[in-house]
Amino acid sequence: MFYVIKHVKEEGAGLFTDKMNNMKIIMAESMDFPDIREEDIVVIMGGPMGVYEKDKYPFIELELEFIRRCYKNGAKILGICLGAQMIAEALGGKVYKGHVKEIGWYEITHTNFAKKDKAFSVFPEKIMIFQWHQDTFTLPENAVRLAFNSNYENQAFTIEERVYGLQYHIEVTEDIIKEWFPDDYNKYIDKAQLDLLRLYAYEFFQKFIK
């Protein structure tokens, strides 16, 4: 079973939706987190809230506990943007506000560990990806850094090659960008980059879920 944890309706699984059979969407604010088995796959999406805003968003603490249970039960977990921050915080890292906002297309560089990783080895050393965040995080003790750029050293990480946290939006599509930026989406739509990212994203996801 695929479980997609959403924090706002505008941030869904995007490109990955077509790759998920038996998908169940759960809104985090419902605080109705399921019991997860080893064979399940959990995809945690983005959102505008900060992991440190627990007083404002009561579901955050419950979601962190849910992630810990998923990890303990052996499930595969993929976190995107806020989802990556949630994973980092839940498993021993720390989320905090960064020094610069990244909105739009930014280049990231993959580490030597990424070249050997079962899922991340599909990516080239450098690639342009879509960002929309300012918060960042430290890595959990047992995590391995997979990508970085000049603004933030932790752009992607893995734990045991079954948990992945991506600070950026690998799931993004042209329609998603139009929904996120209705007044100036032409500023952010780059069809060539979207087409290239789609190819790598599909291949990554296929290897992740195997």
Please list the residues that pair with 8 across neighbouring strands: none
For position 125, what pLDDT does the model report?
Answer: 97
* Residue 164 backbone dihedrals phi, psi, to 5 degrees: -130, 135
Give the Cα separation of 64 and 112 in Å (integer).
29
| Exposure class string for 62-94: b at 16+ Cβ within 10 A, else e | ebbebbeebbeeebbbbbbbbbbbbbbbbbebe
Name, in order, each residue with C-beta under 8 angstroms of 194's C-beta and a sequence gap of 6 or more.
172, 173, 174
Give this prediction's pTM.
Answer: 0.97
Active site residue ranges: 81, 169, 171
Does an H or E element contain 16, and which?
A: none
Task: Indicate which CATH number applies to the domain containing 109.
Answer: 3.40.50.880
Please give the structure tokens belonging to residue 179: 């929904």
Give the Cα separation of 47 and 1 in Å (integer).
23
Number of domains in the chain: 1
For position 22, what pLDDT does the model report?
Answer: 87
Q: Which domain holds residue 67?
A: 2-209
Residue-level pLDDT, tens digit, the chain, 210 residues: 999 999 999 999 999 998 888 899 999 999 999 999 999 999 999 999 999 999 999 999 999 999 999 999 999 999 999 999 999 999 999 999 999 999 999 999 999 999 999 999 999 999 999 999 999 999 999 999 999 999 999 999 999 999 999 999 999 999 999 999 999 999 999 999 999 999 999 999 999 999
The tally of CA atoms less than 13 A away on the side-chain side of residue 6 is 14
